Every structure is written in C-alpha cells, then in structure tokens.
Structure 1
Amino acid sequence: MKGRPVVLIVDDEPDILELLELTLAPLGVVCQKASDLARARQHLQQQSFDFCLTDMRLPDGDGIELVRLISQYCPETPVAVITAHGNVETAVAALKAGAFDFISKPVDLQALRNLVKRALKLPLSYPKMERRTRHRLLGESAAMRGVRAQIAKLARSQAPVYISGESGTGKELVARLIHEQGPRSAGSFVPVNCGAIPTELMESEFFGHKKGSFSGAVGDQEGLFHAADGGTLFLDEVADLSLPMQVKLLRAIQEKSVRPIGSQKEIAVDVRILCATHKDLATLVRQGNFRQDLFYRLNVIELAVPSLRQRTSDIFQLAGHILNRLAETHGDTPFKLAPDALAALQAYLFPGNVRELENILERAVTLCESETIGAKDLRLPQVELPSTSAFLPANSLEEHLAGLEKQAILQALEQTRYNKTAAAKILGITFRALRYRLKKLELE
C-alpha cells in the first residue's frame, strides 16, 4: 500500500518554505524542503517525489533548470513553478520546458492546493505507449501512433495546446482525449466553435452577464469559462475570434479570472485551454489578423494532426470502422469494400479528410445495390491526375496540391450548377470551409 505523497518544495526563503508546507499539510502530503538548486538535485538523487513545486528565482540558477532536469530524469514527477506576477513569458517558457503548471505571486493558497490535487491525480507511471486511445483515434500509421503518444504526454501537463490540422482531421477528438486522460477528467470538457458565435454575443458567451446589463439580459447567465471551471475549455476555430475579443480572451487566460458583463467583480476560474483551427495562425499573425501575444500564449505546445493524404495506409481500417458503425446504426450487415473501391479511396486527395470519408461511405451505403461497395458506388469527384512526368513540377509541392484542389472544387461546382451548398456536400466539407477555400484559391 502506497504511503503519503511526498512533495519537494524549493525556495530560498525559509518563511516561504514554511508557508508552503503549512498550506499543503491539509492534503496529507510529506514535504521535503530545499533552499537552492543544488540541494534540490541532491534530494532528487536520493528519493522519488510525487510532485515538485519550485520558485523561479533561486540563488544558484532558476526554476526552469529544475523543470528540465526533472523532465529528463524523472518524467513521472510533475513539477510546477511559482512566477512573478504578470511575467507571462517566464510562465510560458516553464511550460515549454515541461512544467505541469505554474502559479503567480502573490500565491493564492487555495489555487495552489487545487493545483497540487490535480498533479497528485496523475498516474504513477509515465505513459510511454499510446494504446489507451488507439480504439478511438484510429490508425496504425507512424503519424497516428505519434499523435497518440503526444496525447498521452500532453495529458500529464496543464500547458495550453494548439491543435493544428485541416478540416475533418479529428482535432476535437484529440482535444477530448487529452482532457479525458488528464487530471481534469472529472471536470467538464466544454467545446465551443468560435466561428459560430455572433461577434456581438461573444463576450457574453465566454464570460457571462448580469441581469439587466444589456437589452435582452433578463437574468444572470454564466459564461463558457465558468462552465469549464475545473475542466477544459476547447476553442475550436480560434482564428475566427475578432481582434477585440482576442484582447479579452488573452486577459482572461493570463489573470485566470473573468468579469461578467455588468459585474464589478472578477471571478476566478480554473480552466485548461486547448484550441484548434484549420487556418495557419502564424500567417494570420504576420498579416495582423491575430494577436501575436495571444498566439504565443495559446501555442505553448503545438500538436499537428495529419491529413488523410499523409496516412493513406489507415484508410482500410477507418473505412471498416465506419461501415461497421453504419451497420449497427441501421441494424444491417456491414458492407464490404471491393478492391477497386479501396484503391480509389487511397488515390483520392480527401480535401475533407476523415469527415469526408464518412460522408462518402454513408452515401455509398445508401445508394449501393449490393453488399459490396465498388469504386463507382463511391461517386468520388473525378480529378484527372497528371502523368508521372508531371509529378516533377517546376513549382512547389504546395502549389501543385493547390492546383489539384482547385480542379476538384471547380468540378464539384460545375456538377452542381455552382450551388455552393451542394458542392460542399459533394466534397465532404462544410459550407464555411468551401467559402474559405474559394477565397484562398481566388475562385470567388
């Protein structure tokens, strides 16, 4: 039977060490104290710890050195740092170095206890394998095994994660798995599509409002931050936030508090932020359409979800899973893929990725007259592939792929007599995603 958790606390001020020990005493932990980096190293060599809390400024170094040391040699030990008030750059640097979380001075003692409680909920062993998610995030390609391994690692941190990838790749599922494997799994996972909230309602939706604060505010309403308190807030399509809202979001993340519209008081919130977008945030920053300071605050760690084109070996498994699920839904025998259908799917570019694959197979199941789906039953947009010699273009690969994408979109538009809604359905992407691509490819 495991004994009481052992916590290493590192600070050069004896009074602070005493205060931290007294603060953590109600949690039933045993505190080992160190006044500098050298003493902390000695303790780490002599015994293992369930958690480490260190001040950022130490007489013989800084807290980030200790974070790197523990991340390298004791990866199963979560470590948090105490930073100076408002020093966001230091906090972000600590998270990038592998810190579990950070807390700012003056230290809120209850917030510190909550932080330690979350850290102690982590599994004792560091998850080097990615098998816990392989039955939900499907694919045995090297790219997907890498994503699952990253999820297992990121679940042990409280650092903000920027999940990048094309539409339809499964970014929300990735975010949900990070939440479910981490110490916040008992809390709420609150997903929000930033592009679906009208600009004039964003502040109220995120932070809440008080009765009578504006026309139509007939009662108090809690915002999304409050709904996610103790859990995870997933900001999907974060690039669609207006610049004024980006400023307010940045402040809420930095201060870990929100002020409802019409309220004079700020409310402390304990939320982990995960975000995603199919757009290139770095490019938007350079164009002045996304705040650089918010980008650095959200993009502490980036997890790139591969497109289906980058993992065509997974299509057979994904298709089988989708067909089995459709059969269960309709109470039928699962359809099978003919060899020519699988070959056609593996050759297709999938601008809508896994979501498009689902749409294609659902349509095929509905229209197919036998229990075996052939290539013709897929009704894939016909894209004439260039000859082998044409695969050595003078332009870049990005330009080459953009040309193929443009060709597929134009064919879908012609097929639907330029009905964009119908064309988006054929392509297996959303109407918003089609509008974005039309603008990007200058086809408007």
Structure 2
Amino acid sequence: MPAPRILIVDDEADLRELLDITFIKMGLDSDCAANLGEARALLAKNAYAMVLTDMRLPDGLGIELVREVAAAYRNTPIAVITAFGSADNAVAALKAGAFDYLSKPVALDQLRLMVQSALKLTPAASAAAPAPTAGPALRLLGESDALRHVRAQIVRLARSMAPVAITGESGTGKELAARDIHAQSARADKPFIAVNCGAIPEALMEAEFFGYRKGAFTGAADDRDGFFQAASGGTLMLDEVADLPLPMQVKLLRAIQERRVRKVGSTVEEPVDVRLISATHQNLAACVEAGKFRQDLYYRLNVIELGLPPLRERKDDIGLLASAVLQRLSGASRMRLSPQALQTLCEHSFPGNVRELENILERALAFASGDTIDAQDLALRPAAMAGAPVSSPSPSHSPPTPRGEPFLTASEPAPAIADAQPAGAGTPGSLPQQLDKVERKLIEEALARTRYNRTQAADLLGLTLRQLRYRMQRLQIHDAD
C-alpha cells in the first residue's frame, strides 16, 4: 500500500523543504505547491491524505483553499500555517472548515502530532474514498428532528480540531455531547478530561489547570500535572466555563493561543496538545457585554457552537429516553411506563430537562408496585401536567446542578413546580412540599449551628459546598443579615 501523500502549499521554498524532509522522516510522501493555482492543479490530479497551506500566498489567501477543500474534498483534512500572533486568522480558518492550525515558526513536534491525528481520519488516503465508517454509538438518545440534527453536527465536528462551545439549558446533556465528539474523533483513544470550572476554588485554579512543581507552595510535596497535561493528546472539556474568574481567563487564553502551559513554580513552558470543548448554560455573549467574560477568550472558545435543544422542544423523545433510563435503573426487573404515565410525562414542561426526567423516574420506581409505573407514581402536580407556566430561573442566573450528584431528595427534580402555585393551593400535604420543608429545616439548623459558615454547614449535612449552595438557592434560603 503506498504511503499517504500530503500536499504542502507555501511560497517560502525553505519552509517547503523543511516540511518535505519532516514528512519523509515520518514515512510519508508529499507534493509541494508555491501558490493557489499550483495547489488546485495538484488536487485535481492526485488524492491526498492531508493538505497543509500557508495563509498568505502570492495569488490569494489560504482560507480560499480551505473553503474549496472543505466543499469538494470533504474526506481530506486541511490545516493552515498562520503568522505568529495571528489568532484571528486561525479562528477564521477553523470556522471555514480547517482541521487545525500551526503558528510560525513551525514547531516540528506539534506538526507531527497534528499530522498523525489527521491521518487517522483518512486511513485510505483518498479524497475519492467513501466516508469513514461510523464510530461508537452516540450517547445522546432521541429520534426527533432536533436530535438527529445535533448528532449529524457531532459527527462533522469530530473530524475537526476546532474548539467547540456547547450551549444549552442545565440537564440537556452537554457533557454527553462532548464525550460523543471525543469518541467519534481521531483522539478517541486518548484521555477525555471533564472539568467543572465552577467547582474549583479560585486560589487553586492555576495549579489545577497547569500543574505545579514540588515546593511551589505549602503542601506541594511532589510535582503534579494539571488538567492540560492529563488530557494530553485528547480532549479537555471546560464545563460551566462562564464561572471562570477573570484572572484565570487571561491565563487560559494564553495557554490556548500558545499551546503551552507553565506549571506553578516553574520557569519553563511545556507544549500541550489538547482539543478544547467548553460548555455553559449561561449566555456567554451576554456575559461578555456585562464584563464578566473576556471577549478575546470568547472568540477563541466559541469557534463552532453546538446548541442542545431543551426536552420540551423534543417531546417525541421522552418515551425513548424514559425506556433507556428505566432499563438502567431497574436492571433485570424490566419496569415500564403505563400509557397514562407516558402521557403525563409528555405534558410536563421539564425545566430540568433530561436530568429532571431521570430523577422523576428514580422517584417513581420507589413508589411503583409491580412492573408498571402509573401516572400517580410520578407524583407530578396537576398544574405542571396541564402545561401551566413554570417559574424556573433564567438561564443566565440558574444555579448549575452538579453533574453526577447523587439523588438526595424527591423534591429536587421539580423545585419550580412547587413554586408554580401560591402557598396553600393544591394539596398542602403533597410529598414534594413536605420534603422541601424537611430539607429547609435541616439546612437552616446547620447554618445556625455554624453561624452561617457554609463550608462547615455543608460538612454537617454531608454535602459539598456546591450542593449546599444549589439547595439554598432552590429553597430561597438566605444568609443571616
């Protein structure tokens, strides 16, 4: 089988020669073009496993070639070489369909890593070859048009190294989408590291992200890698990225632009090779306007946006999702929903989206008798079932629900439902209301005993500080004046 062939497009003869020699040492063949015209002629005659082009060429811009290759040779990844510090050009190329980019002067170690990733996408090294076989099954379930569109986007995004910003309400499955992108990509055999930016104390952020050297601070007994090093060669997901403090945003921006990080206590920078995926339930553009998020970091992270629809906009998927959740929760017992229960779920507004559906079904399993869940086992209030407006927090202010948090109270899935009616309406003795009262009393007692020290109160209750904050906001418990 012939060696994969790469097309080099650059007007600098010295750089073309350097790249050609590098590829020969990697066991690859290459053709060279000095301008767009020569590149187009070679593309028309030969099949390439990859194209590498400079951004500025004598007869035009490399971004023109990026668009042409992305449209006419969809199975051929194309990467660009940009001038040092030309971050805007790199972002524009990624949005036009570039697989990745390199900055001048070209670092050969980064070049080799990029080429190796690109070749995994084109095993046949042929622009005319059929599309590669599908990767592992996607985790995002659903057959609605909205979910089909999202899954199609995920498959396309997996072929690029461009940063992706996943947006959507809390509970819509942003981390699942990120894991799907990683699993379908050429980095699937490398680590996937998910980091909740809102759960890391500000004082520890730099050490957690970039690592530290022994003796850098009190307690640093050994060298330690950070999240960037842990995700080397793979994908780093920044969940709830809007919660990053501004000083950390500056350091993160430099790490993204330079693709190098410096450990705390070190004097040298280390190269890192990670693909970044960010996620948030907040409106990042609004955060930029409010001065809470840096505009330059926003443009670096938001190269490609993937929006996840809320569950209320894809109610055709509720039956499929419910069946999958029940199969996971009940195991061999084969629990199922009655037609009335499924209808009840379809009429619910789901302010907490898929995570709320999971909690409702987990609660219903405890109430159900036999192997069928009936409508009354769901314990949903009539006002919510009838589609009455639900007073849920706005996306930019709602407290993020911790991913993977254990099911602690039956009232968690429907905090907004209990507020949908004035006090005393409906059934005052309903289970959600009673559990809310018990939870409120326990939290208030713990806060009083610790003089409203939230950290100590969380320890007393067996919760993390973030879990306690979430419950206080949901139950509208305020610190003492």
2:344 corresponds to which letter in structure 1? A
Query: What is the CA–CA distance in structure 2 between the aligned matches of 1:435 and 1:254, rounded to whole Å?
Result: 39
Native 8 Å contact 2:98 2:160 kept in 1: yes
Q: Relative to 1, partners in 2 of residues 1:419 and 1:127: Cα closer, same or farther, differing over 3 Å?
A: farther
Partner letter of residue 12 of structure 2? E
Q: 2:228 aligns with which of 215, 225, 240?
A: 225
Report the CA distance between 1:370 and its aligned residue.
Answer: 2.5
Structure 1 equivalent of residue 344 of structure 2: 344
Aligned 8 A contact 1:139 1:318 in 2: yes
Q: In the alignment, which residue of structure 1 is the partner of 2:243?
A: 240
Give the structure 2 partner of residue 282 of structure 1.
Answer: 285
Q: Report if the CA contact (8 A) 1:382-1:411 is conserved.
A: no
Name 2:437's counterpart in structure 1.
417
**Equivalent residue, structure 2, for 1:355:** 355
The answer as to whether partners of 1:127 and 1:153 remain within 8 angstroms in 2 is: no
- Write the distance in 1 (CA, Å) between the matches of 2:95 and 2:54: 17
Matching residue's letter, 2:292: N
Q: Does 1:178 align with 2:158?
A: no
Q: 2:141, 2:441 → 1: CA distance?
A: 29
Cα drift, residue 126 of structure 1: 6.8
1:381 to partner: Cα distance? 4.0
1:36-51 matched pairs, under 5 angstroms: 36-51=35-50
**Residue deviations 1:133-176 (CA, integer Å, cap 9, x gap):** 35x22101111111111111111000000011111111111111
- For residues 323 and 150 of structure 1, do their structure 2 counterparts lie closer, same or farther at Cα, with a shift above 3 Å needed? same
Deviates more, 1:296-305 or 1:18-27: 18-27
| Alpha-carbon distance in 2 for matches of 1:291, 1:5 | 41
Q: 2:162 aligns with which of 159, 165, 182?
A: 159
1:53-68 equivalences in 2 (<5 Å): 53-68=52-67
Could you tell me whether the CA contact under 8 Å between 2:440 and 2:475 is conserved in 1? no
Q: Cα gap change, 1:382/1:292 in structure 2, threshold over 3 Å: closer, same or farther?
A: farther
How far is the alpha carbon of 1:66 from its aligned partner?
0.5
* Secondary structure of residue in 2 paired with 1:235: strand
SS in 2 for 1:221: coil
For residues 135 and 269 of structure 2, the distance between their equivalents in structure 1, rounded to whole angstroms, comes to 42
Would the aligned equivalents of 2:348 and 2:384 in 1 still touch at CA under 8 Å?
Answer: no
**Counterpart position of 1:29:** 28
- Give the Cα separation in 2 of the matches to 1:10 and 1:254: 23
The CA distance in 1 between the partners of 2:305 and 2:229, in whole Å, is 25
The offset of 1:412, in angstroms, is 9.2
Q: In 1, distance between residues paired with 2:63 and 2:441?
A: 51
Task: Measure how far apart 1:438 and its partner are.
Answer: 8.3
State the superposition RMSD in angstroms.
2.7
Normalising by structure 2, we get a TM-score of 0.81
| Residue 407 of structure 2 corresponds to residue 408 of structure 1 | no
What is the SS of the residue equivalent to 1:290? coil
Instruction: Give the conservation status (yes or no) of the 8 Å contact 1:133–1:148.
Output: no
User: Which residue number corresponds to residue 202 of structure 2?
Assistant: 199
Q: 1 CA distance for matches of 2:292 and 2:475?
A: 19
Aligned residue for 1:3? 2
AA matched with 1:340: Q
Question: Where does residue 133 of structure 1 map in the other structure?
Answer: 137
Alignment of 1:312-391 (within 5 A): 312-328=315-331, 332-383=332-383
Equivalent residue for 1:101?
100
1:67-86 alignment, distance < 5 Å: 67-86=66-85
1:301 aligns with 2:300: no
2:165–2:301 CA contact under 8 A, matched in 1: yes
Offset at residue 337 of structure 1 (A): 0.8
Calculate percent identity across the aligned residue pairs: 53
Alpha-carbon spacing, 1:262–1:131, altered in 2? closer, same or farther (3 Å): closer
Q: Which amino acid aligns with 1:117?
A: Q
Residue-by-residue CA offset, 1:243-276 (whole Å, 9 max, x unaligned): 1001110011111011111111111111111110
CA 1:194–1:127 in 2, change beyond 3 Å: closer, same or farther?
farther
- 2:479 maps to none
Amino acid at match of 1:232: T
1:256 corresponds to: 259
Distance in 1, Cα, partners of 2:373 & 2:349 = 19
Name the counterpart of 1:189. 192
> Residues 241 and 34 of structure 1: is their aligned pair in 2 closer, same or farther, counting only changes over 3 Å?
same
- Offset at 1:219? 1.8
2-structure distance, mates of 1:438, 1:289: 26
Deviations 1:196-242 (A, max 9, x none): 11111111100111111112212211111111111111111111110
Tell me the equivalent position of 2:409: none
Moved over 2 A (4+): 123-134, 381-387, 405-409, 411-414, 417-423, 429-439
Q: Which amino acid aligns with 1:408?
A: I
Q: 1:311 aligns with which of 314, 323, 342?
A: 314
What SS is found at the alignment partner of 1:417?
Answer: helix
Distance in structure 2 (CA, Å) of the matches to 1:42 and 1:420: 72
1:110 Cα offset (Å): 1.7
CA contact (8 A) 2:260 2:271 kept: yes
Shift of 1:300: 0.2
Instruction: Provide the rounded CA distance (Å) in 1 between the counterparts of 2:210 and 2:438.
Output: 41
CA deviation after TM superposition for structure 1 residue 181, in Å: 1.2
Deviation digits for residues 109-137 of structure 1, max 9, x if unmatched? 12111111110011456759978535x22
Contact 1:130 1:145 survives alignment (8 Å) = no
Match of 1:116 in 2: 115
Letter in 2 for 1:324: Q
- State the alpha-carbon separation in 1 of the partners of residues 140 and 441 from structure 2: 29
Moved more, 67-76 or 168-177: 168-177
User: When the two structures are superposed, what TM-score results if normalisation uses the length of structure 1?
Assistant: 0.88
Gaps of 5+ in 2: 124-128, 399-413, 424-432, 444-465, 477-481
CA distance in 1, matches of 2:43, 2:473: 52
Aligned letter for 2:419?
A: L
- What amino acid maps onto 2:151 in structure 1? R
Q: How big is each residue's C-alpha offset from its partner over 1:349-399, in whole Å with a ceiling of 9 and x where there is no partner?
A: 111111111111111111112321111100124435789xx99xxxxxx99
The question of whether the paired residues in 2 share the 8 Å contact of 1:382 and 1:408 is answered with no
Unaligned runs of 5+ in 1: 392-397, 424-428, 440-444
Aligned AA for 1:133?
A: A
The aligned counterpart of 1:395 is none
User: Are residues 126 and 310 of structure 1, via their aligned partners in 2, closer, same or farther at CA, if it must alter by over 3 Å?
Assistant: farther
Provide the secondary structure at the position in 1 that maps to 2:437.
coil
**Equivalent in the alignment of 2:402:** none
Cα separation, partners in 2 of 1:409 and 1:302, compared to 1, 3 Å: farther
